[in-house]
Amino acid sequence: MKLINKYKSPNYNSRKFHKIKFIIIHYTALANCNEAITHLCKADNKVSCHYLISQNGQIYSLVDEKKRAWHAGFSYWDSITDINSCSIGIEIDYSNNKNNRKFTNKIINSLKNLLYYLKKKYKIDEKNILGHSDIAPYRKIDPGKNFPWKNLHLSKLVFMPKNINKKVSSNIINWFKSHGFKSKKTISIFILMYIGYDILPIFYNKNLYKNLILSYQSHFNQKNISGKLDIHTFNKLVEHFLSLLLTKMKKNLLKH
């Protein structure tokens, strides 16, 4: 894997804890790679990332992996709030409405190589490779609804819920209902929390539930991006919950 070390960003500090657990994927929302390099390397902007991938698949190393690059901002996953201290941030030269509005094969191939290298080096769990919108669902939408999560999953790099037998799903739903979960919405909020999402803000502002569902859909259910808890999204969430439970059980069994 070839890295370009020509440009460096001053926007970093020391990690507060040193174990790297997450990889966070972003897009720049800028017109091209040169603009992105300028933006990410300018001290006044106070933003950066470890790696930037250009439209033609070149990988720029902007911040040393040992350092805490400033890419995640105010964020949350599974009770962790200082994501910058325990993650590697990857920016992709991509914007929804400019000439760079494609996740080209060159980008995807380079990203796969980079993910493979980082996963192996830091023993990162596939469930901890996330989008910026997963860890900041009320502020951010990158890497967006066109980002090829499924393609990365087929290369065994990221987690996707397994399809689960309908009967098993309906048993789980009945279990929730008999344990005080009155509606599908309540079940969905519980599952989203279980997955790792920050659910607290929706108790202060009900309108934010839509953002949370949109974030979930743009990562795990891209065929159905509505911001609504439709039946497909609900079923996907139940499958997701079960997949996580089964993975946990399997891990525990293997430990003994």
Whether residue 143 is preceded by a cis peptide bond, meaning omega within 30 degrees of 0, is: yes
Query: How far apart, in whole angstroms, are the C-alpha atoms of residue 133 and residue 215?
Result: 6
Q: Is 239 a catalytic residue?
A: no
Q: Which of residues 94-123 bind Zn ion (CB under 5 A)?
A: none
Q: What is the per-residue burial (b if ≥16 Cβ within 10 Å, else e) of 78-116?
A: eebeebbbbbbbbbbbbbeeeebeebbeebbebbeebbe
Q: Shortest approach of Zn ion to residue 132 CB, angstroms?
A: 3
Q: Shortest approach of Zn ion to residue 84 CB, angstroms?
A: 12
Dihedral of alpha carbons 102, 105, 110, 113, sign: positive
Task: Yes or no: say if 107 and 58 are a contact pair by the CB < 8 Å rule.
Answer: no
Q: Shortest approach of Zn ion to residue 185 CB, angstroms?
A: 28
* Neighbour-count burial of 75, counting CB atoms closer than 10 A to its CB (0-12 exposed, 13-18 middle, 19+ buried): buried
Query: Contact between 26 and Zn ion (CB under 5 A)?
Result: yes
Query: Contact between 142 and Zn ion (CB under 5 A)?
Result: yes
- The amino acid occupying position 152 is L
Query: How far apart, in whole angstroms, are the C-alpha atoms of residue 18 and residue 34?
Result: 31
Q: Which stretch binds Zn ion (CB under 5 A): 51-59, 127-135, 209-217, 236-244?
A: 127-135
The site string for Zn ion over 193-232 (x = CB under 5 A, - otherwise) reads ----------------------------------------
When the beta carbons of 24 and 199 are compared against Zn ion, the nearer one is 24
Active-site residue, from 35, 65, 91, 126: 91
Which of 50, 68, 119, 132 touches Zn ion (CB under 5 A)?
Answer: 132
Query: Contact between 50 and Zn ion (CB under 5 A)?
Result: no
Q: Which stretch binds Zn ion (CB under 5 A): 11-19, 34-42, 142-150, 154-162?
A: 142-150
Query: Contact between 93 and Zn ion (CB under 5 A)?
Result: no
Q: Shortest approach of Zn ion to residue 243 CB, angstroms?
A: 26
Query: Contact between 134 and Zn ion (CB under 5 A)?
Result: no
With H, G, I as helix, E, B as strand and everything else as coil, classify residue 21.
Answer: coil
Residues 6+ apart with CB under 8 A from 164: 238, 239, 242, 243
Judged by CB under 5 A, how many residues of this single chain contact Zn ion?
A: 3
Q: Shortest approach of Zn ion to residue 140 CB, angstroms?
A: 5
* Residues at the contact surface with Zn ion, assessed by CB under 5 A: 26, 132, 142
Catalytic residues: 91
